[in-house]
Amino acid sequence: MEDKERGLAGAPGSVSKYVILGVTGSVAAFKSPLVVRAIKDSGIGVRVVMTEAAKQFVTPLSLELVSGNPVLWDSFQSPLSHIEIARDACALIAAPATLNTISKFSTGVADNLLTTLFMAFRGPVIIAPAMNWRMYDNPIFKDRLAYLKDKGIIEVTPERGALACGEEGVGRMASTQRIVHTLKRTLGANDMKGLKVIVTSGPTREYIDPVRFITNRSSGKMGRALARAACLRGAFVTLISGPSSVPPHDDVLDEIDDAEIIRVETSGEMEKAILEKSKEADIVVMAAAVCDFKPERFSQDKLSRSEGLTLELVKTADILGKISAHASKKTYLTGFAAETGDRKDRAREKLQKKGIDMIVFNDVTQEGAGFDSDTNIMTIITPTEELSIPKMSKDAGANRIFDKILLNIKGRN
């Protein structure tokens, strides 16, 4: 639903509701039905076009059943299909894309339905090469691929691993998730393209000795949602994450080349990472629940139970305050204030004291808000206004926050 709201089911204002999936003659074609299913699960329809060679690896019938649409491979099966299908599609994906088909794309050879469609299509094209590593590494092919990328064709780079020929190397088709995330990102609003965004996320750990630490209940879900939202809207995202309990698999951030994840443990490491990165950032969102206190002393050796323990705690560094002093004037700074109870007054005070542009308040005692929850209830507070975000998924809430940040940046320029 949220994807559709953001226009992921088609370019904004477009009636396109399907992508063309071109399946070519690679061993990886047996994965095509899974690609079809994953695209459909994102709310986007699929029209499959195969090459003759692809039919050796996967049957048109399987692809027809999974896509729910007739599968075409011959230009003369349905005359003018190369124009009609191309006209109404929102994207063309070739997955798997053979060396042969990619080379034809790059030279304008239109000798089958897929290559003819490619030449007739005016929307975004994504290719997921799959081939033996020697073929992928071939200098002639590299030139062809570089030429296509220069023309705006998006490559979902193949992965290293065991290949069907028994060799190992770079040539395995990208995972289904990577292909679908690339598609979503391509069809997304793209209103954050060119922006560098830093998001901090999760808790920190403050060590007492090598095996014990103090921490807090933050799961890192809100930070992940923010980083994911910015990434899907086209930003280059750096996620600085404390030890999060959110499983990292199947996430756009792990799949997209335009994102980096820096993993840290302590508040000191988080401070160092963000100070290093924030100078060039357009937007910094500090969603991490950095521990406010840490043990005054760290014991190099594991403390013995028999000796007893009294912990002396000291405040950790004020990272938000330091960033505010350190970041460039153009950087839009957002902090989070997690409180127990309706303490917006404390959030407003934090906003003012730290000299930041926005603070997002949430009362973690509310049902459907705070740690570990998949939803949140928030209030966006800036020096001049307050905006309530009712209970919604953290992904949707993250998009609301960026909508507001973009609006405020626009108003500032």
Ligand X SMILES: Cc1cc2nc3c(=O)[nH]c(=O)nc-3n(C[C@H](O)[C@H](O)[C@H](O)COP(=O)(O)O)c2cc1C
List the catalytic residues: 165
| Choice from 21, 71, 126, 131 touching ligand X (CB under 6 A) | 131
- The CB-based long-range contact list for 304-311 (8 Å cut-off, 24+ gap) reads 309/208, 311/208, 311/214
Element (H or E) spanning 86, and its range?
helix 81-88
Our CB check for ligand X shows the closer of 93 and 405 to be 93
List, as one string, the DSSP characters of 191-217. TTTT-EEEEEESB--EEEETTEEE---
Question: Cβ of residue 284: shortest distance to ligand X, in angstroms?
Answer: 43
Q: What sign does the dihedral 321-325-326-332 (CA atoms) show?
A: positive
Q: Is 10 in the site for ligand X (CB under 6 A)?
A: no
Contact 92, 152 (CB under 8 A): no
φ, ψ of residue 53 to 5 degrees: the values are -65, -35
Q: Would you state the structure tokens that stand for residue 251, as one six-digit string?
A: 């996430």
Torsion of CA 112, 114, 117, 123, to 10 degrees: -160
For residue 111, say whether it is annotated as part of any ligand binding site: no
Q: Is 113 in the site for ligand X (CB under 6 A)?
A: no
Q: Is 99 in the site for ligand X (CB under 6 A)?
A: yes
Q: Is 175 in the site for ligand X (CB under 6 A)?
A: no
Our CB check for ligand X shows the closer of 24 and 201 to be 24
| Choice from 32, 75, 81, 98 touching ligand X (CB under 6 A) | 98
For residue 209, say whether it is annotated as part of any ligand binding site: no
Q: Is 156 in the site for ligand X (CB under 6 A)?
A: no
Q: What distance in Å separates the CA atoms of residue 400 and residue 394, rounded to the nearest whole number? A: 10
For residue 213, say whether it is annotated as part of any ligand binding site: no
Q: Which string of x and - marks every residue 42-81 that binds ligand X (by CB under 6 A)?
A: ---------x-xx---------------------------
Site for ligand X in 215-244 (CB under 6 A): none
How far, in Å, are 5, 149, 173, 209 from residue 102 at the CA level?
A: 33, 11, 14, 56
For residue 193, say whether it is annotated as part of any ligand binding site: no
Our CB check for ligand X shows the closer of 130 and 230 to be 130
For residue 336, say whether it is annotated as part of any ligand binding site: yes
- The residues that bridge with 178 in the sheet, in sequence order, are none
Residues placed in the known binding site? 292, 302, 336, 350, 354
Chain residues that interact with ligand X, rule: CB under 6 A: 24-28, 51, 53-54, 98-101, 130-131, 135
Residues placed in the known binding site for CTP? 292, 302, 336, 350, 354
